[in-house]
Amino acid sequence: MVASYGEGFGIARWHDAAAVIEAARHMGLADITRWTTPETVQQFLDSDQWIALVAVESDPPEDLRTPHILGCIIGGLEEEGRVWIELLAVSPSHRRRGIGRALITHLEGLVREMGYRALFVDLDDTNPDAYEFYRAVGFEDAGVIREYYYDATDAIVMSKRLL
């Protein structure tokens, strides 16, 4: 079921890890397969440890068999009421249209109903656009992890309380 958001797109829960990974790769996360695989993501989705959402065109072209994915988010459900945003990507041609905000908002609503208390995200300290986006949707700084990523860059950890 697709929940209508914004102009021209909706949000749906998605269970096809390969499609989400491929979409994220085309949206700018070219290195995604360095830190996960479709098989790993599928295991987490199948076990309900992760939730995947996609933003899709409200009226996709008739020749498409599956909706055109405009953006995606995966939330990892953890103990202690935490949800980690494992990935968030929006197609470059559809950025600044509210898709990222809608994906965050929809994920927040789902996990809040499930009793989760906070969202967390780690992001590369060399990505000021991502940092500003998360600040704009209500995240606050929670710390820094030195040399966190495979290329030894630092991670900025941000959080947002839900309850």
Can you read off the two tokens belonging to residue 96? 């600044």
How high is the pLDDT of residue 59? 66
Cα–Cα distance for residue pair 87/21, rounded to 1 Å: 10
Highest mean pLDDT: which of 4-18, 24-38, 102-116? 102-116
Q: Is 80 exceeded by the pLDDT of residue 5?
A: no
143 vs 64, more confident: 143
Evaluate whether 158 touches 140 at the Cβ level (below 8 Å): yes
- pTM for this structure? 0.89
How high is the pLDDT of residue 101? 95
The backbone region for 65, taken as left when phi is positive above 0, alpha when psi lies in -120 to 50, beta otherwise, is alpha
Q: Which amino acid is at 36?
A: T
Encode pLDDT of 85-116 as tens digits.
999 999 998 888 999 999 999 999 999 999 99
How high is the pLDDT of residue 61? 56
Band (pLDDT 50/70/90 cuts) for residue 32 is: confident
The mean pLDDT value for 134-152 works out to: 93
> What domains are defined for the chain?
3-124 (3.40.630.30)
How high is the pLDDT of residue 57? 83
Q: Is 80 exceeded by the pLDDT of residue 66?
A: no
Can you read off the two tokens belonging to residue 28? 């700018």
Task: Tell me the three-class secondary structure of the chain, residue by residue.
Answer: CCEEECCCEEEEEECCHHHHHHHHHHCCCCCHHHCCCHHHHHHHHHCCCEEEEEEEECCCCCCCCCCCEEEEEEEEECHHHEEEEEEEEECHHHCCCCHHHHHHHHHHHHHHHCCCCEEEEEEECCCHHHHHHHHHCCCEEEEEECCCCCCCCCEEEEEEECC
